[in-house]
């Protein structure tokens, strides 16, 4: 029987070219201008799953973008793996900061990817990582080595909050029944430091609007005499952190899970190059909540960040004006036990409370989700760990991530199953940013690691 390494040697050129074709489809879920492309991408996913060997694949319409669902059931007595991924991508803006067009993929070498990386929007998040699973399935089916049942659920709305997927999951619990959920939509520490993501942060995303006078005013005639919404908004935002960079919203930290010294010491063992981190970002020093390391700040601690702020005159030259309104978009990353609905309410109440007289504020929640932590004493984690050990020749380090995939907590609630997060991207792969890329080595390593997981998980479960 052929092993995966041989199969990769024979097919890697084709695997790379197929990914490149898939990346050419601009499946931006947030922008209605791309809705036809999103549909095209869903059809490409369907075709790829059928070609790889799924018995049935359906495209399910939703109130938003479609969900692609496929399966190959070989024996009801064997375990079932549910693979989740997303074929939608973030908007490519700002386009002029890309070195090559975002939907014309090219392969270029980088310091961290000496064997080349594919540059395109979605290369790493998540088309490239999702497609590794399609190619791993192809290998297992074509060489008669699929050891268990597999279901694929690939959605087109992850980057906009997965609202319709939540409905689909709640309505299709039986169809989606599984023993473990497998996702590659996160990262690892480095190519020679494999890691498995054991936690995701929750999220509450809100938009705020501060209204002062009923119209824009001359800043000479009215300046100093009325509340300036932009002045007020920035002052309010500044007050949301104290001098130790802790969030000042009352009750915000009450449910935050505090890790023991032992757990923190365990975390601190993961290699981290602070100087390299600062150098790569061209910053003199890191910044954040007092008393915590960088790795803790971006994984086990909650945060509040302004993602965008606007109002008034931002065009060429100068215009003397006091704007009637000012706006900001704010995200809060949450940790286990913090409930995103509750945090959204706490934020809203606090923001209304700190608004001075003379302005009115409106808080509009956008989307959110709960955080997730996966235990490491399960069959799923052990099988994943062994799979990495086989493929990388090294035991992977469990590591919590700072990012969010809100649907994961919902999977656990609705489908009662745990998720294994086998991510193969690097933090420096520029997901959501200009020049997003995914290492060719990482792509092929992922395809190699996945079948080992199927094998070990099935062996350990039966
Ligand atoms: N794949 C990312 C999340 C991610 C990336 C987790 C790297 C861990 C490591 C996902 O596509 C994403 O971008 N999620 C959003 C939230 C979503 C509701 C828009 C995020 O984390 O900002
Ligand atoms: Mn993603
Ligand atoms: Mn994303």
Task: Identify whether residues 191 and 247 lie together within a single domain.
Answer: no
Query: Residue 283: inside a domain, yes or no?
Result: no
Phi and psi dihedrals of 196, rounded to 5?
A: -115, 130
Element (H, E) at 107: strand 106-108
* Token pair of 406 as six digits: 């809100």
pLDDT in tens, 204-229: 999 999 999 999 999 999 999 999 99
Cβ of 28 below 6 Å from ligand 1: no
Closest residue by CA, ligand 1 atom 10: 405
Query: Residue 274: inside a domain, yes or no?
Result: no
Q: pLDDT class for 462, splitting at 50, 70, 90?
A: confident
The pLDDT value recorded for residue 9 is 97
Query: Residue 18: inside a domain, yes or no?
Result: yes
Query: Residue 271: inside a domain, yes or no?
Result: no
Average pLDDT over residues 231-260: 97
Task: Identify whether residues 217 and 196 lie together within a single domain.
Answer: no
Res. 1: pLDDT tops 80 = no
DSSP secondary structure code for residue 419 in this structure: E
Task: Identify whether residues 135 and 244 lie together within a single domain.
Answer: no
Question: What spacing in Å lies between the alpha carbon of 212 and ligand 1's midpoint?
Answer: 35
Q: What is the mean pLDDT of the chain?
A: 97
b/e for 322-334, b at 16 or more Cβ within 10 A? bbbbbbbbbbbbb
Tell me which ligand sits closest to the C-alpha of residue 340: 1
Closest residue by CA, ligand 1 atom 19: 159
Question: What spacing in Å lies between the alpha carbon of 363 and ligand 1's midpoint?
Answer: 23
Question: What spacing in Å lies between the alpha carbon of 77 and ligand 3's midpoint?
Answer: 35
Ligand 1: atom nearest CA of 404 is 21
Where a domain ends, among 351, 369, 387? 369
Ligand 1: atom nearest CA of 161 is 18
Task: Identify whether residues 346 and 453 lie together within a single domain.
Answer: no
Of 87-91, 265-269, 313-317, where does mean pLDDT reach its minimum? 265-269
Average pLDDT over residues 443-459: 98
Instruction: Provide the residue range defining the domain that includes 447.
Output: 4-200+371-461
| CATH at residue 111 | 3.40.630.10
Cβ of 448 below 6 Å from ligand 1: no
Question: What spacing in Å lies between the alpha carbon of 425 and ligand 3's midpoint?
Answer: 12
Query: Residue 284: inside a domain, yes or no?
Result: no
Question: What spacing in Å lies between the alpha carbon of 317 and ligand 2's midpoint?
Answer: 39
The pLDDT value recorded for residue 2 is 80
Where a domain ends, among 369, 389, 420? 369
- Block residue for tokens 């939907």: 103
Phi and psi dihedrals of 343, rounded to 5?
A: -65, -40
Cβ of 150 below 6 Å from ligand 1: no
Cβ of 405 below 6 Å from ligand 1: yes
Domains identified in the chain, total number:
2
Task: Identify whether residues 321 and 180 lie together within a single domain.
Answer: no
pLDDT in tens, 145-155: 999 999 999 99
Task: Identify whether residues 168 and 222 lie together within a single domain.
Answer: no
Tell me which ligand sits closest to the C-alpha of residue 127: 2
Name the residue of 404, 409, 425 whose CB sits within 8 Å of the most ligand 1 atoms, as the mutation to test its pocket: 404
* Token pair of 443 as six digits: 């792509």
Task: Identify whether residues 51 and 193 lie together within a single domain.
Answer: yes
How many other CB atoms are there within 10 angstroms of residue 238's CB atom?
8
Task: Identify whether residues 346 and 383 lie together within a single domain.
Answer: no
Cβ of 408 below 6 Å from ligand 1: no
Query: Residue 280: inside a domain, yes or no?
Result: no
Query: Residue 281: inside a domain, yes or no?
Result: no
Cβ of 157 below 6 Å from ligand 1: no
pLDDT in tens, 379-406: 999 999 999 999 999 999 999 999 999 9
Query: Residue 286: inside a domain, yes or no?
Result: no
Closest residue by CA, ligand 1 atom 16: 404
Ligand 1: atom nearest CA of 159 is 19
Cβ of 202 below 6 Å from ligand 1: no
Task: Identify whether residues 18 and 147 lie together within a single domain.
Answer: yes
Average pLDDT over residues 233-248: 98
Task: Identify whether residues 325 and 350 lie together within a single domain.
Answer: yes
Res. 267: pLDDT tops 80 = yes
By C-alpha distance, which of 451, 442, 455, 449 is closest to 129? Answer: 442
Res. 319: pLDDT tops 70 = yes
* Token pair of 245 as six digits: 């960079």
| CATH at residue 314 | 3.30.70.360
Cβ of 229 below 6 Å from ligand 1: no
CB 109 within 8 A of CB 117: yes
Tell me which ligand sits closest to the C-alpha of residue 90: 3
Percent over 90 (pLDDT), the chain: 98
DSSP secondary structure code for residue 355 in this structure: P
Task: Identify whether residues 238 and 363 lie together within a single domain.
Answer: yes
Where a domain ends, among 319, 340, 369? 369
Cβ of 185 below 6 Å from ligand 1: yes
Please, is 188 exposed, middle or buried when counting C-beta atoms within 10 Å of its C-beta (0-12, 13-18, 19+)? buried
Task: Identify whether residues 92 and 102 lie together within a single domain.
Answer: yes
Closest residue by CA, ligand 1 atom 15: 404
Question: What spacing in Å lies between the alpha carbon of 217 and ligand 1's midpoint?
Answer: 40
Closest residue by CA, ligand 1 atom 7: 186
Average pLDDT over residues 24-40: 98
Cβ of 138 below 6 Å from ligand 1: no
Name the residue of 84, 159, 332 whose CB sits within 8 Å of the most ligand 1 atoms, as the mutation to test its pocket: 159
Phi and psi dihedrals of 41, rounded to 5?
A: -65, -40
Q: pLDDT class for 324, splitting at 50, 70, 90?
A: very high
* Token pair of 357 as six digits: 């007289």
* Token pair of 204 as six digits: 């509450």
């Amino acid at each position: 029987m052929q092993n995966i390494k041989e199969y990769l040697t024979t097919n890697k050129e084709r695997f790379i070219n197929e990914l490149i074709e898939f990346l050419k489809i601009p499946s931006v879920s947030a922008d209605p201008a791309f809705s036809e492309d999103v549909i095209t991408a869903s059809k490409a996913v369907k075709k790829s799953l059928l070609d790889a060997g799924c018995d049935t694949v359906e495209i399910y319409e939703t109130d938003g973008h479609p969900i692609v669902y496929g399966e190959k059931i070989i024996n009801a007595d064997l375990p079932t793996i549910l693979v989740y991924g997303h074929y939608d991508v973030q908007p490519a803006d700002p386009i002029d900061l890309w070195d090559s067009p975002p939907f014309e993929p090219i392969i270029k070498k980088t310091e961290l990817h000496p064997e080349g990386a594919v540059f395109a929007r979605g290369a790493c998040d998540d088309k490239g990582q999702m497609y590794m699973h399609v190619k791993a399935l192809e290998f297992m089916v074509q060489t008669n080595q699929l050891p268990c049942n597999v279901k694929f659920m690939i959605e087109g709305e992850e980057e906009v909050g997965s609202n319709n997927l939540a409905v689909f999951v709640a309505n299709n619990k039986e169809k989606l029944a599984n023993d473990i959920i497998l996702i590659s939509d996160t990262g690892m520490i480095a190519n020679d430091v494999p890691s498995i993501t054991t936690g995701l942060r929750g999220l509450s995303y809100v938009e705020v609007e501060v209204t002062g006078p009923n119209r824009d005013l001359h800043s000479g005639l009215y300046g100093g005499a009325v509340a300036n919404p932009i002045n007020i908004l920035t002052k309010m935002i500044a007050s949301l952190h104290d001098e130790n960079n802790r969030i000042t919203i009352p009750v915000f930290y009450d449910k935050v899970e505090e890790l023991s010294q032992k757990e923190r010491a365990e975390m601190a063992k993961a290699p981290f190059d602070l100087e390299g981190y600062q150098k790569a970002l061209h910053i003199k020093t890191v910044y954040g909540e007092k008393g915590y390391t960088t790795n803790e700040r971006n994984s086990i601690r909650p945060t509040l960040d302004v993602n965008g702020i606007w109002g008034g005159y931002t065009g060429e030259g100068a215009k003397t004006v006091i704007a009637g309104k000012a706006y900001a978009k704010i995200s809060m990353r949450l940790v286990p036990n913090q409930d995103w609905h509750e945090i959204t309410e706490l934020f809203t109440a606090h923001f209304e409370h700190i608004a001075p007289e003379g302005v009115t504020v409106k808080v509009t929640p956008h989307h959110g989700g709960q955080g997730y932590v996966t235990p490491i004493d399960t069959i799923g984690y052990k099988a994943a760990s062994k799979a990495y050990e086989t493929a990388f020749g090294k035991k992977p380090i469990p590591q919590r991530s700072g990012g969010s995939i809100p649907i994961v907590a919902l999977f656990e609630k609705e489908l009662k199953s745990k998720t294994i997060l086998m991510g193969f991207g690097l933090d420096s792969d520029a997901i959501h940013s200009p020049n997003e890329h995914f290492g060719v080595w990482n792509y092929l390593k992922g395809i190699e690691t996945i079948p080992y997981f199927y094998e070990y998980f099935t062996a350990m479960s039966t």
